[in-house]
Amino acid sequence: MRVEIQIRTVAMDFWASLEHQIRYKKGLEEGQKISEGLKECADTIARTDLRMQELREMIKSPV
């Protein structure tokens, strides 16, 4: 049985939801700090996605 895990999709959906809340909530005291944290998370997710693609290619075409 083959399965696919979509970590990025769920994480990015959650990230977008939080970002939306930050943008449209007025008076959020820690908005900048939260935005920076979300950016760090997005960067981590992007790096993980690229690494997973590299590993997939290694599996598909072994040396």
Which tens digit of pLDDT belongs to each residue from 34-51? 888 888 988 988 898 899
Looking at every residue in the chain, the average pLDDT score rounds to 82
Report the Cα–Cα distance between both ends of the chain, in Å, rounded.
Answer: 26
Q: Which residue has the higher pLDDT, 15 or 7?
A: 15
The catalytic position among 4, 19, 30, 54 is: 4
For residue 40 the two structure tokens come to 């760090």
How far is 15 from 43, CA to CA, in rounded Å?
A: 11
Contact between 11 and 31 under an 8 Å Cβ cutoff? The reply is no
| Count of Cβ atoms closer than 10 Å to residue 8 Cβ | 14
Amino acid at residue number 25:
K
Active-site residue, 4 included: yes
